[in-house]
Amino acid sequence: MYLSCVCGNEKTKTRLSSVIRNRTLSHAYILCGEKGSGRHTLALSAVAALNCERRDEGVVPCRECTTCRRIFSMQFTDVKVLSVQGAKSTIGVDEVRVIREDMFLSASESEYKVYIFEDADKLTVQAQNALLKVLEEPINNVLIFLLCERRDKLLTTIRSRAPMITMEYLSAELIDKYLQSNSEEGRTLKRRDAEGYREVLRRADGSIGRALSMLNTDSIREYQTMHEEVCSLLLAFSPHTPYATLLSEVSSLPKNRADFIEVMEEVIRALRDAIASKRAEAFTLLFFHSKEECEEVSHHFTMTRLLQVYDLVTRAIEQASANANMTVVSALLSTNKP
CA-to-CA distance for 132 and 150, rounded, in angstroms? 18
Nearest to 34 by CA among 160, 205, 223: 205
Q: Is 235 exposed, middle or buried (0-12, 13-18, 19+ CB in 10 A)?
A: middle
Sign of CA dihedral 77, 150, 24, 15: positive
Length of the chain: 338
Q: Tell me, what's the pLDDT at 165? A: 95
- Domains along the chain? 10-166 (3.40.50.300), 216-333 (no CATH)
Per-residue pLDDT at 42: 94
Q: What is the pLDDT of residue 334?
A: 83
Within the chain, which residues score under 50 in pLDDT?
A: none
Specify the pLDDT at position 101. 94
316 neighbors 329 (Cβ within 8 angstroms):
yes
For residues 194 and 220, give the distance between their C-alpha atoms in angstroms, rounded to a whole number. 12
Q: Strands 113-117 and 142-148, how do they pair?
A: parallel
Q: Computed from CA positions of residues 292, 294, 295, 299, in that sequence, does the dihedral angle turn out positive or negative?
A: positive
* 328 contacts 308 by C-beta, under 8 angstroms: no
Radius of gyration of the chain measured on its C-alpha atoms: 22
Q: Whole-model pTM above 0.85?
A: no
pLDDT at 237: 94
